[in-house]
């Protein structure tokens, strides 16, 4: 058949070339070096899988005590009266006095009794708050509202720096979702429309420079977008919408939207372009306009890909750190008001990890948030990947 | 009909459809809005940043008080950022290129484990940057560095390897940019005409020889693009290096792999959030942002040009 017809058919992306090629190469002679190199290359190629696995393992490992409920953040010290010393086993006593093996072995009965009394005094000085004995890292306190001392009603509070560490993650989840929601509402319509325009309506010459121009947005570092949101956009948007707090979920969301426009655009444009040209041509031949062909024929065919683009955009937006850290105001409050300050999961990790002590409950709590974040993006990436793969296979199969 | 891409023009519908006109206009406007915002950001930064950039600003270090307009310079940050991305390419390019070679030259494209590798690459590209920061802290600093300390310096109280350092920051960034290098290299490998490989094989070369001496030299521009893109991506990233090596302030330059470093992007963050008087800091802030942007954009544009040239060459060779 002619060259022209072949060009209409989308080339299958998986090339049969290498499969065929492998056949030629298994020569008559065995080549141990060749074999070794091939295995070496194969092993290195597994590094991407290894890295995903290691990320899960090592971020999750630091958070494991929280998931297993092995962490105790209660401030109050358990008290044992000195006269009950005899009833304790040696191990229990050693753990209670927090002594190392050597220290414990070198102490006689009298010193130990003295230490128990010191311990008792310490306990008397500890805050006399009913919340002091609460282990705030339990899941109950992470998710459900709790009436802390000094509050009128049960509330969700993330406040890890006070004497009693309050680790309720609900305000952070709401903050992240709020900013992500604004970002999606802003970016998805804009980038989908641009994707339709660039892939279906623009002339090839315009398309050639439009695509890289929009993708240039991806070249702006997120810290620069955060800076721009903080200094310029916050002021402009406040003037236009007239809300009170200058930095809020809305400003952060719009800047976040700018960060995900290139992601949503590229994936959607790719999906729309992968719809065979013959579809459009059939529609045009039947008398439809270019827009009708794009809207009624190409878009429905590429819909799973467009959906995948939105899912990936969601994953990117919820995981973005610097923009929300700089522009969202960072107050952890439970409010769905978009024009109020918000503290996201990512910003919390970035802002608080430097203050924590290696291995303590605050440190582990932040890793727990990181694990949650990784799990959410892992699932959304995986879903998008499967959708796109199926779509491409389907479209190629039909031609 | 010589050019197939012109074919649809011949079937243009005759009647004028108002809805089509309107909606096509809407999509065009959306495209224009995106480009407009991009232009506003770039112009705003260039406009305000240009005055702040002087030779003194580029070549001098910064004082302990980094918010002083007359004394602030960005040389330590430029050095730190350059050092960490160059170190990163040393780790990421070999691994990325070899993975791409496996995927295009050796792997069976439809087998299940090729699918898993591709899935992992796509997934790695979408992991949030702050999670890479946590990973760097937990794995490179806590595990690798901690074990190295236990092995080589069992008596030392101060950690030598198990603390934030430029080495660990670079490695964390290498993990993050691995997908960029893999995808760019793969693209360039696919663009090489199969005939070249077949000719080499027909002349008696082994597969490894063909890959090393015929395929790889041809793919060099693509590998270069991958490297440049990964550098440009990594140069502006702040979240992964927050806990793995970036320093708020240090007086000297990083000289050993265990040293910390000052960083352009992190400095932008510090200047815009920690400044006691944002109005006074504004000129150096804008100038620093412009330097960072010039760095990443120049790299990006070079990558786009190399790639465009490569694609054109590929189209001609078919």
Taking only the tens place, the pLDDT of each residue in A251-273 is: 999 999 999 999 999 999 999 99
| A266 φ, ψ (degrees, to nearest 5) | -60, -45
Q: Report helix, strand or coil for A69.
A: coil
CB-based contact A225:A258 (threshold 8 Å): yes
Contact check, Cβ <8 Å, A222/B105: no
Among chain B residues, the shortest Cα distance to A227 is held by: B272
Residues of A in contact with B122 (CB under 8 A): 381, 384-385
Among chain B residues, the shortest Cα distance to A292 is held by: B20
The Cα A381–Cα A261 span in angstroms is 17
Residue B29 structure tokens = 């406007």
A334 and A270 housed in the same domain: yes
Domain count for chain B: 1
Query: Mean pLDDT lowest for which of A2-6, A244-248, A287-291?
Result: A2-6
Neighbours of A183 (CB within 10 A): 30
Is the torsion defined by CA of B30, B31, B34, B38 positive or negative?
negative
Taking only the tens place, the pLDDT of each residue in A272-324 is: 999 998 999 999 899 888 898 999 999 999 999 999 999 999 999 999 999 99
Instruction: Give a yes or no: residue A146 inside a domain.
Output: no
Distance between A241 CA and the closest CA of chain B, angstroms: 18
Distance between A76 CA and the closest CA of chain B, angstroms: 30
> Counting one residue from A and one from B, how many pairs have CB atoms under 8 Å apart?
310
Of A351, A50, A71, A357, nearest to B139 by C-alpha is A50
Chain B segment 250-309 residues within 8 A of A by beta carbon are 265-266, 268-269, 272-273, 278, 282, 285, 289, 292-293, 296-297, 300, 304, 308
CB-based contact A245:A173 (threshold 8 Å): no
Of B35, B303, B273, nearest to A210 by C-alpha is B35
Taking only the tens place, the pLDDT of each residue in B184-228 is: 999 889 888 889 999 999 998 888 899 999 999 988 888 888 888
Residue B97 structure tokens = 């290129």
Instruction: Give a yes or no: residue A41 inside a domain.
Output: yes
Query: Mean pLDDT lowest for which of B8-17, B20-29, B59-68?
Result: B8-17
* Out of B11, B130, B182, closest to residue A285 by CB: B11
On the question of pLDDT at B75 being above 50, the answer is: yes
Give strand pairing partners of A146.
A155
Distance between B153 CA and the closest CA of chain A, angstroms: 20
Contact check, Cβ <8 Å, B206/A31: yes
A273 and A293 housed in the same domain: yes
A222 and A183 housed in the same domain: yes
On the question of pLDDT at B2 being above 50, the answer is: no
Contact check, Cβ <8 Å, B292/A221: yes
* Out of A49, A204, A389, closest to residue B5 by CB: A204
Domain count for chain A: 3
Distances (CA, A) of B51 to A90, A340, A363, B35, B143: 73, 35, 43, 25, 46
Which residue's structure tokens are 């994953």? A315
Of A347, A344, A352, nearest to A176 by C-alpha is A344
Instruction: Give a yes or no: residue B20 inside a domain.
Output: no
Q: CB-based contacts of B269: which residues, under 8 Å, 6+ apart?
A: A223, A226, A227, A322, A325, A326, B238
The Cα B264–Cα B237 span in angstroms is 10
Domain of B219, in residue numbers: 53-317
A264 and A334 housed in the same domain: yes
The 3-state secondary structure of chain B reads CCCHHHHHHHHCCCCCCHHHHHHHHHHHHHHHHHHHHHHHHHHHHHHHHHCCCCHHHHHCCCCCCCCCCCCCCCHHHHHHHHHHHHHHHHHHHHHHHHHHHHHHHHCCCCCHHHHHHHHHHHHHHHCCHHHHHHHHHHHHHHHHHHHHHHHHCCCCCCCCCCCCCHHHHHHHHHHHHHHHHHHHHHHHHHCCCHHHHHHHHHCCCCHHHHHHHHHHHHHHHHHHHHHHHHHHHHHCCCHHHCCCCECCCCCCCCCCCCCCECCHHHHHHHHHHHCCCHHHHHHHHHHHHHHHHHHHHHHHHHHHHHHHHHHHHHHHHC
What's the confidence (pLDDT) of residue A78? 62
Contact check, Cβ <8 Å, B206/A370: no
A336 and A201 housed in the same domain: yes
A250 and A394 housed in the same domain: yes
Distance between A352 CA and the closest CA of chain B, angstroms: 11
A146 DSSP assignment: B
Residue B11: band (very low, low, confident or very high) from pLDDT cuts 50, 70, 90: very low
On the question of pLDDT at A15 being above 50, the answer is: no
Q: How far apart are the first and last CA of chain A?
A: 16
Contact check, Cβ <8 Å, B34/A265: yes
Distance between A75 CA and the closest CA of chain B, angstroms: 26
Contact check, Cβ <8 Å, B37/A15: no
Instruction: Compute the mean pLDDT over every residue in chain A, rounded to the nearest whole number.
Output: 83
Average pLDDT on A132-146 reads 79
Chain B segment 80-139 residues within 8 A of A by beta carbon are 94-95, 98-99, 101-110, 115-135, 137-139
What percent of chain A shows pLDDT beyond 90? 46
Q: Report helix, strand or coil for A8.
A: helix
Of B252, B202, B212, nearest to B64 by C-alpha is B252
Residues of A in contact with B285 (CB under 8 A): 227, 231
On the question of pLDDT at A123 being above 80, the answer is: no
Give strand pairing partners of B246.
B261
Residue A125: band (very low, low, confident or very high) from pLDDT cuts 50, 70, 90: low
Contact check, Cβ <8 Å, A48/B99: yes
A213 and A99 housed in the same domain: no
Distance between B236 CA and the closest CA of chain A, angstroms: 5
Burial of A203 (0-12, 13-18, 19+ CB in 10 A): exposed
A192 and A105 housed in the same domain: no
What's the confidence (pLDDT) of residue A3? 35
What's the confidence (pLDDT) of residue A77? 59
The structure's pTM equals: 0.85
Crossing angle (nearest 10°) for helices B75-101 and B278-317: 30
What's the confidence (pLDDT) of residue A17? 47
Instruction: Give a yes or no: residue A206 inside a domain.
Output: yes
Domain of A276, in residue numbers: 170-398
CB-based contact A288:A309 (threshold 8 Å): no
Contact check, Cβ <8 Å, B8/A281: yes
A369 and A246 housed in the same domain: yes
Query: Which value, to the nearest 10 degrees, does the dihedral of the CA atoms of residues A77, A81, A82, A87 take?
Result: -110
CB-based contact B17:A289 (threshold 8 Å): yes
Contact check, Cβ <8 Å, A24/B201: yes
A252 and A177 housed in the same domain: yes
The Cα B293–Cα A190 span in angstroms is 24
Q: Between vectors from CA A36 to CA A33 and to CA A40, what angle results, nearest 5°?
A: 135
Taking only the tens place, the pLDDT of each residue in B113-157 is: 899 999 999 999 999 999 999 999 999 999 999 999 999 988 888
Residue A390 structure tokens = 């199926």
Contact check, Cβ <8 Å, A349/B130: yes
CB-based contact B246:B15 (threshold 8 Å): no
Q: What is the CATH number of the domain that holds B235?
A: 1.10.3720.10
Query: Mean pLDDT lowest for which of A65-74, A197-206, B158-167?
Result: A65-74
Greater confidence (B43 vs A330) lies with B43
Instruction: Give a yes or no: residue A89 inside a domain.
Output: yes
Among chain B residues, the shortest Cα distance to A226 is held by: B269
Contact check, Cβ <8 Å, A54/B124: no
Q: Is B11 in CB contact (< 8 Å) with chain A?
A: yes
On the question of pLDDT at B269 being above 90, the answer is: yes
Instruction: Give a yes or no: residue A83 inside a domain.
Output: yes
The 3-state secondary structure of A327-380 reads HCECCCCCCCCCCCCECCHHHHHHHHHHHCCCCCHHHHHHHHHHHHHHHHHHHH
A194 and A95 housed in the same domain: no
A177 and A90 housed in the same domain: no
Distance between A66 CA and the closest CA of chain B, angstroms: 16
Taking only the tens place, the pLDDT of each residue in A39-81 is: 999 999 999 999 999 999 999 998 998 888 877 777 665 666 6
* Out of B130, B235, B308, closest to residue A319 by CB: B130
Distance between A94 CA and the closest CA of chain B, angstroms: 25
Distances (CA, A) of B126 to A291, A371, B84: 33, 14, 22
Instruction: Give a yes or no: residue B311 inside a domain.
Output: yes
Residue A356 structure tokens = 């924590």
Q: Is B194 in CB contact (< 8 Å) with chain A?
A: yes
What's the confidence (pLDDT) of residue A76? 60
HSE, side-chain direction, 13 A CA sphere, residue B107: 26
């Amino acid at each position: 058949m002619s060259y022209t017809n072949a060009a209409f058919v989308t080339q299958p992306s998986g090339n049969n070339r290498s499969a065929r090629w492998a056949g030629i190469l298994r020569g008559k002679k065995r080549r141990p070096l060749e074999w070794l190199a091939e295995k070496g290359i194969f092993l290195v190629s597994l590094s991407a899988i290894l890295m995903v696995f290691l990320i899960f393992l090592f971020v999750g490992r630091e958070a494991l005590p929280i998931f297993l409920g092995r962490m105790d953040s209660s401030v109050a010290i358990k008290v044992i009266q000195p006269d009950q010393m005899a009833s304790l086993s040696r191990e229990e006593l050693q753990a209670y006095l927090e002594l190392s093996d050597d220290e414990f072995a070198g102490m006689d009965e009298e010193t130990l009794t003295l230490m128990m009394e010191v311990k008792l005094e310490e306990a008397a000085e500890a805050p006399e708050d009913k919340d002091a004995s609460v282990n705030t890292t339990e899941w109950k306190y992470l998710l459900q509202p709790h009436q802390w001392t000094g509050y009128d009603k049960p509330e969700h509070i993330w406040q890890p720096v006070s004497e009693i560490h309050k680790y309720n993650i609900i305000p952070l989840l709401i903050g992240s979702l709020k900013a992500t929601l604004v970002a999606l509402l802003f970016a998805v319509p804009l980038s989908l429309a641009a994707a339709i325009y660039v892939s279906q309506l623009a002339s090839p010459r315009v398309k050639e420079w439009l695509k890289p121009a929009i993708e240039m947005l991806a070249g702006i570092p997120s810290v620069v977008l955060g800076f721009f949101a903080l200094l310029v956009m916050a002021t402009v948007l406040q003037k236009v919408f007239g809300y009170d707090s200058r930095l809020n979920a809305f400003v952060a969301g719009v800047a976040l939207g700018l960060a995900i426009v290139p992601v949503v655009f590229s994936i959607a444009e790719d999906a729309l372009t992968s719809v065979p040209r013959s579809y459009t041509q059939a529609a045009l031949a039947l008398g439809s306009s270019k827009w009708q062909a794009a809207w009624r024929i190409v878009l429905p065919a590429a819909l799973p890909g467009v959906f995948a683009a939105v899912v990936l955009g969601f994953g990117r937006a919820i995981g973005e750190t610097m923009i929300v850290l700089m522009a969202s105001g960072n107050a952890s409050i439970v409010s769905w008001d978009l024009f109020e300050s918000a503290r996201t999961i990512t910003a919390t990790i970035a802002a608080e990890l430097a203050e924590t002590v290696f291995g303590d409950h605050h440190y582990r709590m932040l890793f727990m948030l990181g694990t949650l974040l990784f799990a959410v993006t892992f699932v959304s990436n995986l879903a998008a990947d499967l959708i796109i793969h199926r779509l491409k296979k389907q479209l190629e199969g039909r031609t | 009909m010589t050019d197939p891409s012109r074919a649809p023009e011949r079937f243009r519908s005759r009647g004028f459809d108002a809805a089509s006109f309107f909606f096509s206009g809407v999509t065009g406007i959306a495209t224009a809005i995106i480009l407009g915002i991009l232009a506003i950001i770039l112009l705003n930064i260039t406009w305000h940043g240009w005055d702040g950039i002087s030779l003194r600003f580029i070549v001098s270090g910064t004082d302990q008080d980094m918010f002083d307009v007359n004394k602030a310079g960005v040389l330590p940050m430029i050095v730190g950022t350059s050092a960490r991305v160059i170190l990163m390419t040393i780790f990421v390019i070999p691994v990325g290129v070899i993975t791409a070679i496996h995927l295009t030259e050796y792997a069976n494209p439809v087998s299940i484990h090729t699918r898993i590798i591709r899935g992992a690459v796509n997934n790695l590209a979408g992991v949030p940057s702050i999670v890479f920061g946590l990973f760097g802290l937990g794995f490179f600093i806590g595990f690798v560095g901690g074990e190295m300390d236990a092995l080589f310096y069992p008596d030392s109280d101060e950690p030598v390897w198990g603390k934030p350092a430029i080495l660990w920051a670079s490695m964390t960034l290498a993990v993050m940019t691995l997908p960029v290098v893999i995808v760019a290299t793969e693209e360039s490998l696919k663009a090489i005409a199969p005939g070249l490989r077949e000719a080499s094989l027909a002349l008696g070369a082994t597969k490894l020889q063909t890959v090393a001496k015929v395929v790889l030299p041809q793919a060099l521009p693509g590998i270069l693009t991958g490297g440049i893109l990964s550098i440009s991506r990594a140069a502006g990233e702040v979240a992964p290096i927050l806990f793995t090596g970036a320093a708020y302030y240090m007086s000297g330059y990083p000289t050993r792999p265990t040293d910390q470093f000052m960083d352009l992007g992190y400095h932008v963050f510090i200047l815009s959030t920690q400044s006691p008087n944002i109005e006074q800091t504004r000129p150096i802030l804008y100038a620093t942002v412009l330097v960072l942007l010039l760095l990443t954009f120049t790299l990006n544009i070079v990558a786009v040009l190399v790639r465009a040239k490569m694609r054109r060459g590929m189209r001609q060779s078919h």
